[in-house]
């Protein structure tokens, strides 16, 4: 017995520093997780009889937003470029929400023709559109072009959504009170609109491009809100938080090994897509924001008692 206690004591003294570091790191990660968790949308509003269209809803933040809208009873349209993946997501959403009224429509925001086709389909076949959520996005891809020759990030994140929103405005106006929710990013804060080289042909920098596209989202929200004043259509832009999704798909493979090793624990810390959907949901349904328009939303840190 004595030997055993000695052995333990020996182990602790020998590895004291290591154990202390592990404990502090563990506690630190837990505290940071808690601090980063963020709030939830508490609105219990039902959306029975209403229609919601969400772009890029086959994965990530868009899929979780769609699930929430389905749980509230809405007819939910997943507007996605990969119809196969979108159908799988739609099945999951139907099962988890118990709402069978979830449909997939094809939308590739990197093609204005595809945007026009989708808008036409919606105009012709949908009776109403109560909530449009411009969620799809591409981040830090290589220097790619859309079908129409636009720089990819600006083309998908802003121009495609700009056209889509304008084409759906009549239907939104017929369905008032209705809302347009634009998923931007904190990255817009360092953004600059390069009017002389809007597609960054002269000097393409993937981060500069992402920031510009996300700033365009915020500016579009403000301008659209002012043009729609008094119509009953309100507009919101937002930062969802830093969320564990597929958004890093173009960035991660380009990182050096050491960078990936540094990034991995950070990825474990960041929020779930369900948490990331909360700000979109808040802007889409919360009663307190019914008369707000043109504003940018960003979650404050977690309130005591929040259950996420
Ligand atoms: N995650 C974060 O930390 C974070 C932070 C700030 C802002 N945001 C914003 O949040 C939004 C949602 O991103 P996420 O994090 O959920 O990323 P994600 O998991 O990569 O999802 C992005 C979605 O956009 C779709 N998409 C991409 N290009 C498209 C195109 N040409 N046409 C139609 N759909 C297209 C994707 O479809 P496929 O699956 O077919 O590619 C996918 O459904 C984005 O606007 C992003 O900028 C995210
Ligand atoms: C919005 O405006 C209407 C009409 O002025 C008012 O009745 C309602 O209480 C307002 N709602 C909020 C949440 O401010």
pLDDT digits (tens, 9 = 90+) for 76-92: 999 999 999 999 999 99
* CATH topology classification for 38-298: Rossmann fold (3.40.50)
Establish whether residue 59 lines the binding site of ligand 1, counting it when its CB lies within 6 angstroms of any ligand atom.
Answer: yes
Choice from 53, 60, 297 to test ligand 1 binding pocket (greatest atom count within 8 A of CB): 60
Q: How far apart are CA 139 and CA 123, in angstroms?
A: 30
Confidence at residue 275, expressed as pLDDT on a 0 to 100 scale? 95
pLDDT digits (tens, 9 = 90+) for 188-210: 999 999 999 999 999 999 999 99
Establish whether residue 288 lines the binding site of ligand 2, counting it when its CB lies within 6 angstroms of any ligand atom.
Answer: yes
Confidence at residue 263, expressed as pLDDT on a 0 to 100 scale? 86
| Ligand number nearest to the C-alpha of 238 | 1
**Percent of the chain whose pLDDT exceeds 70:** 94
Q: Beta-carbon neighbour count of residue 92 at 10 Å?
A: 14
Establish whether residue 246 lines the binding site of ligand 1, counting it when its CB lies within 6 angstroms of any ligand atom.
Answer: yes
Q: How far apart are CA 245 and CA 270, in angstroms?
A: 10
Give CA separation, 287 vs 50, 120, 128, 282, 293, in Å: 15, 30, 20, 9, 13
Could you give the residue ranges of the DSSP H alpha helices within 111-192? 112-125, 152-153, 161-174
Decide the pairing of beta strands 75-80 and 178-183: unpaired
Q: How far apart are CA 110 and CA 249, in angstroms?
A: 17
Establish whether residue 230 lines the binding site of ligand 2, counting it when its CB lies within 6 angstroms of any ligand atom.
Answer: no
Ligand 1 centroid–CA 4 distance in Å is: 56
Atom of ligand 1 minimally distant from the CA of 242: 3
User: What is this structure's pTM?
Assistant: 0.89
Catalytic residues: 210
Whether the predicted pLDDT of 10 surpasses 70: yes
The whole-number average pLDDT for the span 99-121 is: 98
Establish whether residue 291 lines the binding site of ligand 2, counting it when its CB lies within 6 angstroms of any ligand atom.
Answer: yes
Choice from 286, 287, 290, 295 to test ligand 2 binding pocket (greatest atom count within 8 A of CB): 290
């Amino acid at each position: 017995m004595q030997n055993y206690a000695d052995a333990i004591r020996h182990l602790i003294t020998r590895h004291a520093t290591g154990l202390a570091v592990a404990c502090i790191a563990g506690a630190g990660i837990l505290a940071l997780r808690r601090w980063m968790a963020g709030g939830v949308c508490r609105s219990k509003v039902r959306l029975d009889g209403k229609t919601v269209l969400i772009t890029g809803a086959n994965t990530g933040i868009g899929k979780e937003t769609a699930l929430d809208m389905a749980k509230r009873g809405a007819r939910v349209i997943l507007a996605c470029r990969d119809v196969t993946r979108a159908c799988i997501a739609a099945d999951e959403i139907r099962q988890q929400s118990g709402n069978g009224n979830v449909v997939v429509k094809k939308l590739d925001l990197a093609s204005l023709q595809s945007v026009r086709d989708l808008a036409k389909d919606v105009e012709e076949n949908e009776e109403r559109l109560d909530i449009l959520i411009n969620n799809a996005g591409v981040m830090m891809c290589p220097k790619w072009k859309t079908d129409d020759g636009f720089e990819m990030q600006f083309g998908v994140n802003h121009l495609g959504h700009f056209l889509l929103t304008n084409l759906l405005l009549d239907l939104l106006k017929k369905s008032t009170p209705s809302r347009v929710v634009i998923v931007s990013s904190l990255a817009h804060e360092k953004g600059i609109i390069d009017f002389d080289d809007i597609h960054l042909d002269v000097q393409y920098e993937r981060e500069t491009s992402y920031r510009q596209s996300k700033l365009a989202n915020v500016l579009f929200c403000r301008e659209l809100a002012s043009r729609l004043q008094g119509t009953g259509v309100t507009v919101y832009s937002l930062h969802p938080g830093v969320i564990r999704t597929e958004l890093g798909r173009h960035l991660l493979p380009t990182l050096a090994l050491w960078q990936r090793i540094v990034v991995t624990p950070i990825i474990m810390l960041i929020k779930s897509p369900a948490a990331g959907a909360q700000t979109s949901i808040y802007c889409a349904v919360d009663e307190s924001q019914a008369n707000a328009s043109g504003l940018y939303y960003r979650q404050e840190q977690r309130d005591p008692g929040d259950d996420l």
